[in-house]
Chains A and B, each alone.
Chain A
Amino acid sequence: MNAPTISLASRMPKWVGALVRGLLIVLLAVAIFGPLLNMLIWTVAEAWYFPNKLPLRWGFQFWGRVFRPEAGAMTALWTSVLIAMMTVVFSLLVSIPAGYALSRRTLPLRSVFLLVFLLPQAFPAIAVHMNIARIFYGIGLNGTIWGVMLVHAIQGLVFSVWIASASFAAVNQEQVEAARNLGASPWRAFMNVSLPLAAPGLMASAIFVFLISLDEFSGTFFVGVPDVRTLPLTMLNAALEGNYQIASITALLLLVPSIAFMLFVEKFLKADVLAKVGT
């Protein structure tokens, strides 16, 4: 006769599982929020020397220094946001048609196209950006917002084209056929059916591109400096000077547009739609 099999998990008391789960969550939280917490403390530390675990003097003294007009942080913030928004618009303009075309299985050399978008990522970024800067210098794009936007777009396009192609491929072809069947031209069917159904994926790719652009450093450094200064450049300057307070406050500042943009996009997306991205 067979005794009913008892699995290992059911033999353990319940609290063991709960403890393991709790420990894992705490570990994960430390990994994610540890550096962030350190950064937050730096923003309100006026004096903090090794080997002290906590700052010696707390205060908002450095905030005033960052927000002084001559510090240029606010100008850099606006430049960053402007470039990020331009990059999003540009990459959507490219990735919607490109992603749609790539999602059609009939497109010849489909994999070659995807490879072309992937190629710049395969090389060390600095080498790519140095050479882009040379080319842009030749055509007068160096030191312009457009030039910086293009450099950011090159990095964002890999992801946005890929996500867009996946989103369009996920649209059930019968839904498009149903629109054609009822009298919609191919263009009308695309605008009324394919595009709205792929929109959640496209929005997700927009968030991605926005964040990539806000964070981008090396391309901006080679193409933009000294005429175009974005917030990451300001932040690096401060960090290199050993001024952790300014660097941390700037980083916190950089969070504002990221979160604002995510909230803006989220307004258009319900969670259940977002969850379907790529399915």
Chain B
Amino acid sequence: MTEPVISIRNLRVAYGDNEVLKGIDLAIAPGSFIALLGASGCGKTTLLRTLAGFNEAAGGSILVDGKDILALAPERRGMAMVFQSYALWSHMNVAQNIGYGLKLRGISKPEIAERVTKLLAMLGLQGYEQRPVAELSGGQRQRVALGRALAVEPKILLLDEPLSNLDARIRLQMRHEIRSIQKKLGLTAILVTHDREEAMVMADQVVILDQGRIAQIGTPEEVFQRPSSPFVASFMGAENIVDCVAKRSEKGIAISVPKSQASTLECSTDAAADGACVAEDAMGEAPRPVQVHFRSESAFLSLTETAVSNALQLPGRVAQVSYLGSGYRCEIDTDCGSFFVDHPTRVSPDDVVTICIPAGALHVFRMDPARTVAARH
């Protein structure tokens, strides 16, 4: 692997007594697109602001090209940031906003004008130089904010939820535009987002943060298909959780559901062979309680009695149905709780069905004691 452009080592940040980042270690390769993904309050924006120099670190270090930058003022860090609020200067027009960083660098007026024109062309805002920013639409402001950051030709681009204030359609379009600009210019980009789809579409590497710690780092495929913890599994959409008991078996793993009449599933633990994704500590010689996560869209409903092979089957009854467009999302009550499962055709409430979860869609983790306590209350 190439030398990382940014290495963050044991970074800690606190607001007063409240520790927001509790030791972050992260190496970022040059030219890569990293997404910091997490729920609000997980510390993702704090991490970005600490990189930019707006928050002080309580410990640890941030090395850029091998040099510690924590002591440097924000203006000396050479990172350009796009703010969630865009933070455009309303007293300047579009050209002045974009050219500001160049003006600070003492570049001559004609050259600034030329570079601003070029940037506007790249962003699809030709002829907008003299417009006041107050007259622009949300998407156009977004582009100006991006242009202002790109104008100084930064090596590192920081994006703080840049798309969260846009309409859904423009948001989808901007995802691809930002990604292609980043590739074209060869920038290292760090994106903060709470939208897992956005993170997966845009980034090479997704960093999932949970309460000030990194929960998992991986490619979009890795964090989606092989989440390393129940938190990551739930955050990446595997929000249906079945309490099961599992033990090692000949084929790989044997999963049974004690609260339901479901038959025990024996399947492989090799993802390549359609096996379940099993955490290392979830399986032993003796049966132990586990929590099994699965996505609504990767399970299906069986309306007949016929058995489906290599799938965990939970008999139940339809409680509620809602239309998603691509199919119907059904809430199914079973003896071990209620789950959401997608089905391509309409089913009626009170229909007796069987939830079938293919082995490859199962994420098996050791039972988190805190979860059973929470469930009991």
Contacts and interface: CB of A to CB of B under 8 A. Distances in A.
Contacts of B101: 182-183
A175 B74 CA distance: 14
B21 interface: no
Chain A interface SS verdict (over half): helix
Interface stretch (A8-16, A81-89, A105-113, A191-199): A191-199
A178 B148 contact: yes
Contacts of B87: 172, 174-175, 177-178
A51 to B, nearest CB: 58
B81 A181 contact: yes
A178 B160 CA distance: 12
Contact of A192 (B54, B100, B105): B100
B75 interface: yes
Central interface residue in A172, A183, A184, A192, by most chain B CB within 10 Å: A183
A192 B97 CA distance: 11
Nearest to B74: A180
A199 B92 CA distance: 13
A175 B90 CA distance: 9
Contacts of A196: 89, 91
A262 interface: no
B75 A184 contact: yes
Contacts of B105: 183
Contacts of A172: 85, 87
Interface string B90-130: 11000000001100110000000000000000000000000
A98 to B, nearest CB: 22
A61 interface: no
B83 A177 contact: yes
B286 interface: no
Contacts of A188: 104
A199 to B, nearest CB: 8
Contacts of A177: 52, 54, 74, 81, 83, 87
Interface string B128-171: 00000000000000000000110010000000000000000000
Contacts, number: 65
Given A181-B74, A185-B75, A193 B89 contact: yes
B37 interface: no
Contacts of A185: 73, 75
Interface residues of B, number: 25
Contact of B83 (A178, A183, A184): A178
Nearest to B145: A178
A144 B91 CA distance: 40
B75 A181 contact: yes
Interface string B60-97: 00000000000001111001110111011111000000
A172 B85 CA distance: 9
A277 interface: no
Contacts of A40: none
B73 A180 contact: yes
A183 B90 contact: no
Nearest to A176: B87
Contacts of A118: none
A60 B162 CA distance: 68
Nearest to A193: B89
Interface string B339-357: 0000000000000000000
A130 interface: no
Given A174-B85, A178-B81, A184 B91 contact: no
Contacts of A199: 91
A197 B85 contact: no
A199 B79 CA distance: 29
Central interface residue in B80, B104, B149, by most chain A CB within 10 Å: B104
A189 to B, nearest CB: 8
Contacts of A186: 73
Contacts of A114: none
A179 interface: yes
Given A172-B85, A172-B87, A179 B100 contact: yes
Given A172-B85, A174-B83, A177-B74, A182 B100 contact: yes
A197 B89 contact: yes
Contact of B52 (A181, A183, A184): A181
B356 to A, nearest CB: 49
A216 B81 CA distance: 50
Nearest to A200: B91
Contacts of B90: 197
Given A180-B73, A197-B91, 6 more contacts: A178-B81, A180-B75, A182-B149, A183-B76, A196-B89, A197-B89
The 6 closest A-B pairs by CB, nearest first: A182-B101, A174-B87, A178-B87, A180-B74, A196-B91, A183-B104
5 contacts: A182-B104, A183-B75, A183-B152, A184-B104, A197-B89
